[in-house]
Amino acid sequence: MAVAEATPPGRDFIRDIVQADLDAKRHTTVVTRFPPEPNGYLHIGHAKSICLNFGIAEEFGGRCHLRFDDTNPTKEEQEYIDAIERDVRWLGFDWGKHLFHASDYFERLYQWAEDLIRAGKAYVDDQSQDAMRASRGTLTEPGRNSPYRERAVAENLDLFRRMRAGEFPNGARVLRAKIDMASGNINLRDPVLYRILHANHPRTGTQWSIYPSYDYAHGQSDAIEGITHSICTLEFEDHRPLYDWFLDNIAVPSRPHQYEFARLNLTYTILSKRVLTELVRGGHVGGWDDPRMPTLAGLRRRGVPAEALRDFIRRIGVAKANSVVDMAMFDHAVREVLNKSARRRMAVLRPLKIVIENYPEGQSEELEAINHPDDPSAGTRKIRFGRELYVERDDFMENPPKKFYRLSPGKEVRLRYAYFVTCREVIKDGAGEAVELRCTYDPATRGGNAPDGRKVQATLHWVSAEHSVASEVRLYNPLFMSPSPDAANFATDINPNALEVLADARVEPALAQGGNSPEAVQFERQGYFCLDPDSKPGKLVFNRTVGLRDTWAKVSGAKGA
């Protein structure tokens, strides 16, 4: 699997262009924009575009606009507008007072379209959509001129005004630019500027019966806002001649330039709003913020820090060749941040009860545990040890293979921060499954070391049966089974085990005291977790943000967490 070509952090071909433009005084200030269409939630691919546009503005002392590309009222909703604003802020960026909408410019765009008509550069076409498609030609064949192409200016103006006034039904007519039906670039074969659409727009209501196309609205919006560098993904490369044609043929107030970069693709992930919308609508996930989703809302709920997302985006760099980034690289970036910040706690995900037979009944004691091994300022906390404890079911084997160093009959292990314990007897249920271990402890090993210097080969995490808190733990795995899922057939590729619910986990009481804090913690030996908003008093729910095993560090030689 190809990985994005390595670019030194903070330098790429777009930043080089910006630097050169500033050096040559072609611009005094760099102005960029992030232009989402409010028809879904932002995903990690959008984060790449956000970090690029806002990052360049920050680094070069310019500004970045947030502009909603709200030209299609049938798909756009206020919920998406709110979510997009929340997610951009969460990612760490601020557009200040530079919040705009393509709909702010509807009147101006309309007047410019009349200008094009008057200049003989646009016409109203009455052909059906099918007829238009059929006459557009192909990559190897030129298109054919529309029978309406030579309409008189006065007739075009009259029809266009009546389109605006709402006289015609949806789809009856369009306004097209008069460019070149034989162009080798299909985007220049008389593209549609306006279509009739009787719809309620979130901002302009029913004021408009016609809406501009993306291609027509985008560059002119850039020009109105004084955007200097209009940065978009590679699929718009073939649209650039059209972007320039509009700017050349309309009396715009400034002259932006479009630059294209490779979109982010990730293994096991589909970054398409259409597919993400279908995952939500089809009930394949719990919503846009389901932690299995690659949306910023989903990643945030899963516990991914914004800083880790920004680090990841910086590391993958910006290139002009499409590639696929290994999900393991993303997980690595998340671990690096969480390893530094997350407090350590003990939680038993699949509990197995152990009873310390030589520990006095009804008694318990406090032991001291450190909150972060590399950060003494994080301090310590008290944990309760007693006669009945839980350990991880996987840490016990009745008939262990040779290299299994954890609990098994007769084997001595260390319980972290506590004592050495030895397994003496296995109690089983009718099905032969271990339900309890009878153990003994060595009181001389308090704190986890033997005065006689004897060693054990394993240190296990544990919680007190009496003092621990019952919790649900949700483990997440990739949403798709295939490393390169097919957007056209995504439903058959959904991983049925993407969410694994452990309903009987036990966590140390310190975890219940933080309230509904989203603060990240490391469950020792398990991974990084955060509290899910589904938590209620008496029933905590934790999401696994990422496990501890770092496959990326291994393959790349990068320093692991």
Give catalytic residues, as residue numbers.
37, 263, 273
407 beta partners: 396
Q: Which CB, 181 or 217, lies closer to ligand ATP?
A: 217
Q: Which CB, 48 or 343, lies closer to ligand ATP?
A: 48
Hey, is 414 helix, strand or coil? strand
Which position's Cβ is nearest ligand ATP?
45
Smallest distance, ligand ATP to C-beta of residue 479, A: 16
Q: Measured between alpha carbons, how far is 99 from 65 in angstroms, rounded to an integer?
A: 6
Smallest distance, ligand ATP to C-beta of residue 387, A: 55
In degrees rounded to 5, what are phi and psi of residue 114? -60, -40
User: Token pair of 224, please?
Assistant: 């109105």
Q: Which CB, 268 or 359, lies closer to ligand ATP?
A: 268
Q: What is the DSSP letter of 502?
A: E
Smallest distance, ligand ATP to C-beta of residue 231, A: 7
Q: Which CB, 88 or 346, lies closer to ligand ATP?
A: 88
Q: Which CB, 174 or 264, lies closer to ligand ATP?
A: 264
Angle at 281 between CA 278 and CA 282, to 5 degrees: 75
- The beta-strand segments (E) located in 380-491 are 380-386, 388-392, 412-415, 420-428, 434-441, 459-460, 462-464, 469-476
Q: Measured between alpha carbons, how far is 144 from 122 in angstroms, rounded to an integer?
A: 16
Smallest distance, ligand ATP to C-beta of residue 39, A: 6
User: Token pair of 429, please?
Assistant: 């249920």
> CA nearest 299: which of 327, 278, 320, 257?
327
Smallest distance, ligand ATP to C-beta of residue 53, A: 8
66 beta partners: 34, 99
Per the rule left: phi > 0, alpha: psi between -120 and 50, beta: everything else, 470 is beta
Smallest distance, ligand ATP to C-beta of residue 274, A: 6
Q: Which CB, 263 or 424, lies closer to ligand ATP?
A: 263
Q: Is the dihedral of CA 335, 337, 340, 341 positive or negative?
A: negative
Residues that bind ligand ATP (CB under 6 A): 35-37, 39, 45-46, 48-49, 232-233, 263-264, 271, 273
